[in-house]
Amino acid sequence: MTTQEAVGHVSFALGAVSYWVRDEIWLRSLLILSFATGLIYNAMPPVGPLWLVLFWLTVYVFINVYRIVTKLAEARKVRLTEEEAELRDTVFPEFTPVEFAKLMRISTWKAVPAGVALTTQGKMVSEVSVIQSGHLNVEIDGRNVHTMKDGEIVGEMSFIGGNPATATVRTITPTRYVAWEQPALRALLARNPAMSSAMRSVFSVELTRKLIESDQQRVAPRV
């Protein structure tokens, strides 16, 4: 393999890897490296530099540099409260700071006493909620099946499937949580495909955790 061929392979490999990266800064950084090595590759042919290709690769490099600079500038403007920063780190790590700020703009923080039902089995759920502090019982057919705590999500299954609640979720201590009205959340995700992908990842992690806990409860020895 010649040096020129090796440089060409590196250029295309970096471009391929960028398709696996969700974070925009990393994606554009990989593209810049791909285009930069492409510049080297197209400057090395025995027939001489391919100026048309070099020109457009240079344009692509500058476009991606500009987008990185503007994205970092946007991120610096984001100011999250301590509660919001903790929520992003623990529940929404897939969201960029800018995306999470958009998500929080349509949210509502709520505090309720013990005995309040956030969902009722068989009824439609109006909100998706994340517990910030407190404990809640999950009841199916009047039987307690799980106790929810900080960081857990309420209403994501109804949001995904558009179906009534499969369980009643009721507070057993004073509880503080953040909530999103389903129509507003759907509209936001529809306008932002990257946020929609990130939310699917968040819901997937939550549903996997719930399935694991459900399996553990079924196999637990009865005493």
How far is it, in rounded angstroms, from Cα 199 to Cα 202?
5
Q: Judge if pTM exceeds 0.85.
A: no
Q: Pull the structure tokens for residue 81.
A: 């409260």
Total residues found in the chain within this entry: 223
* Strands ordered across the beta sheet of 143-148: 117-119, 168-171, 136-140, 143-148
Q: Report d(CA 37, CA 6) in Å as an integer.
A: 10
Strands (E), the chain: 107-112, 117-119, 127-133, 136-140, 143-148, 153-154, 168-171, 175-181
Q: How confident is the model at residue 223 (pLDDT cuts 50, 70, 90)?
A: very low
State pLDDT tens for residues 17-64: 887 877 777 888 888 999 899 888 888 887 778 888 889 899 999 998
Neighbours of 83 (CB within 10 A): 14
Beta-bridge mates of residue 52: none
Query: In 3-state terms, what secondary structure has residue 178?
Result: strand
Mean pLDDT value across the chain: 87
